Amino acid sequence: MALKTYRPTSPGMRTLIRVDRSELHKGKPEKSLIDKDHHRATGRNNMGEITSWHRGGGHKRRFRIIDFKRNKFDVEATVERLEYDPNRTAWIALVKYADGDLNYIIAPQRLAAGDKVIAAEKADIKPGNAMFIKNIPVGTLVHNVELHPGKGGQLARSAGTSIQIVGRDSGWTQVKMNSGELRLINGNCIATVGSVSNTDHSNVQHGKAGRKRWLGWKPHNRGVVMNPIDHPHGGGEGKSSGGRNPVSPWGKCAKGTKTRKNKKTDKFILRRRKNKRLAAGQ
């Protein structure tokens, strides 16, 4: 899909660039696949604490239930239509299985209404087909990849992303992320063939601050304009630049300090994304 520009009838329209969604479904989402009990967390965790700052407000959204597990094996499905989902950057596809069930899936590139998709232990290498990652040929681009068998896809779900299969070793599959990280994935994890749709999402320009507010983003408040009680960079006479190295509101170094603490999964990471220059030099 192409990008849309507008005549500069206002300052906000002058630099506005959007993705053309004329080929997507224009009606309401499938009613049976709407989670009526879902509510937006606006950056809070299960304790009500803010873990993602500057979120809140925005337009009301209906939450579509997406099938990330793709575990309905050996039942062919037909793509009914492609839809816009306000909760994610990728398009979603409504598929109807041969037994009449309906599901939403993440739509890969080059998937269109009327196409056939299937999830099986081993299937054709076509966009939208899901299978065990151990049965996908080396070099194939995949998305919606599981980290643990049966948990559902967690990797490469946003617009335009993909993961490349680069090798195998004793039941494990080596994959390369967009960031350059090399990682081991259990061969019994399910992955979907193809790259995620809406690759032009990275070229979107909102044109004005209000459009970001509609999307649920609030203004970012810098630490140097706060009071000392609120941030280590705050305080001072007049405009101050902080007077120390960049830190978080809790005093932890914000640039260059390692923050990863999950030692249980270190063995699955063959090459960290920040070490790719060092690895290339070797």
Q: What is the mean pLDDT of the chain?
A: 93
Tell me the per-residue pLDDT of 199-210, one tens digit each, with 9 for 90 and over.
Answer: 999 999 999 999
Say if residues 191 and 145 touch (Cβ distance below 8 Å).
yes
Tell me the per-residue pLDDT of 42-71, one tens digit each, with 9 for 90 and over.
Answer: 999 999 999 999 999 999 999 999 999 999
Give me the half-sphere count of Cα atoms (radius 13 Å) on the Cβ side of residue 13.
5
What are the φ/ψ torsions at residue 261 (nearest 5 degrees)? -125, 5
Interatomic CA distance for residues 211 and 188, integer angstroms: 42
| Mean pLDDT within 214-232 | 94
DSSP-based three-state secondary structure for 77: strand
DSSP state of 127: T
Residue 278 in this model has a pLDDT that exceeds 60: no
Percent of the chain with pLDDT over 70: 97
**Domain extent listing, the chain:** 22-202
Nearest 5°: the CA angle 261, 266, 270 is: 140
DSSP-based three-state secondary structure for 58: coil
3-state secondary structure 187-240: CCCEEEECCECCHHHHHCECCCHHHHHHCCECCCCCHHHCCCCCCCCCCCCCCC
Residue 277 in this model has a pLDDT that exceeds 60: no
22-202: what fold? OB fold (Dihydrolipoamide Acetyltransferase, E2P) (2.40.50)
